[in-house]
Amino acid sequence: MTTGAGRRSRIGWRLFPLALILPVVLLFGMVWQSIGEQVDFADLERDGVRYIQALGPLEIALTNAGSAAVSNSEAPRKPLADAVDAVAAVDNELGERLRTQERWAGLRAKIESLPDSGTATSVIAAYGGANDLLLALIEKVRNNSKLIRDPEADSYYLQDGAAQELPEGIVAAARYTDLLVGTAGLPAADRAKAVVDINSAHSDLVSNARDLSDDVQLAVEGTGSRSLGGALLSKLDRFNRSIDNLLPLMSPVLAGTGGIDVARVVKARAEMQSAAADLSAALLAQIDIALEDRLSSLSLRRLLAIGTLVVSVLLAAAPIGAALAARRKPAVHQDQPERRREPVGAAR
């Protein structure tokens, strides 16, 4: 006879696999949720990269238009109009998610009201205001896309260089060269204030270039990739050379001799902007590649988590299945043959 304790023991052993499954399921849920949050984080960062990629050409076109207005030369409006349309398209798609619609509307209205000509002082002030709004929009994208909180050291330094130091450096270089060109027509008495502004822009430009170099160096050291290092460092070297060519152009103003070579300034600024655009594209592309690799890795982790759960459930369910199969198997009884009873008095 089966005792109650025996029945409870058998029931306990049958429930034991189920007790093993529960922690595995709970762990799977935690891992799945964590991976989902990381995927959402990386997807949002990629949206930020896309938005900033559209803002780069706009910054180049905007500073070009400002420099043309300062020198009273006619600049084609199409590059600026095309850049505005490109950002508008990206904002229509991502603006609600990144919460940039209001700030972009303000920048767009400012760009559309910019003058094509005027005194150097008024033009620099007008375009300077637009550039400030543009930098504020880039910072808004950087914060709301969480690029500024990227958990990987190399990606963090790359985004800092691409979304802060480089855009600020482009604006500082534009202001610096515009002020140099603007002093060409100033009388000697008005150059004293111009020297203060030029020195300030010069200081900003040097500071941004130095910080940008530090960001790229730290990112390259963080990845340990020679291919990444070679690709980015060569573009950074070109950008730094273009800055080095800009800095000595202020010497005649500091010496009080005037004589700014406007053509030389324009040529040096064009090379700087070309180098900056090349470097910006490389930095943002590298960030996007890193984020795409991260998403691929997270997808593999999801598959691994699913596989682990399935295997664990199957292993835990195997004893239960075996026990049920054993219960359903019919028992085989071997009946003892009945002994025939002989009649009394039968002959032996």
The answer to the question of residue 344 being in a domain is no
The answer to the question of residue 327 being in a domain is no
Whether residue 47 contacts residue 343, with contact meaning beta carbons closer than 8 Å, is answered with no
Q: How many domains does the chain have?
A: 1
Give pTM, 2 decimals. 0.80
Domain range for 278: 21-303
Question: How many residues belong to the chain?
Answer: 348
The answer to the question of residue 117 being in a domain is yes
Whether residue 23 contacts residue 45, with contact meaning beta carbons closer than 8 Å, is answered with no
Cα–Cα dist 348/343, whole Å: 11
Least confident of 124-128, 143-147, 187-191, 233-237: 187-191
Answer yes or no: is pLDDT of 348 > 50.
no
Closest CA to 51 of 163, 132, 152: 163
The answer to the question of residue 255 being in a domain is yes
The answer to the question of residue 339 being in a domain is no
The answer to the question of residue 340 being in a domain is no
The answer to the question of residue 324 being in a domain is no
244-287 per-position pLDDT tens digit? 999 888 877 766 655 678 888 889 999 999 999 999 999 999 99
The answer to the question of residue 337 being in a domain is no
15-38 per-position pLDDT tens digit? 556 666 777 777 777 877 888 888
Task: Kindly tell me the burial class for residue 341, based on how many C-beta atoms sit within 10 Å of its own C-beta (0-12, 13-18, 19 or more).
Answer: exposed
Cα–Cα dist 69/62, whole Å: 11
294-345 per-position pLDDT tens digit? 988 888 888 887 887 777 677 766 666 666 666 666 555 555 555 555 555 5
Cα→Cα distances 232→225, 235, 311, Å: 11, 5, 45
SS3 333: coil
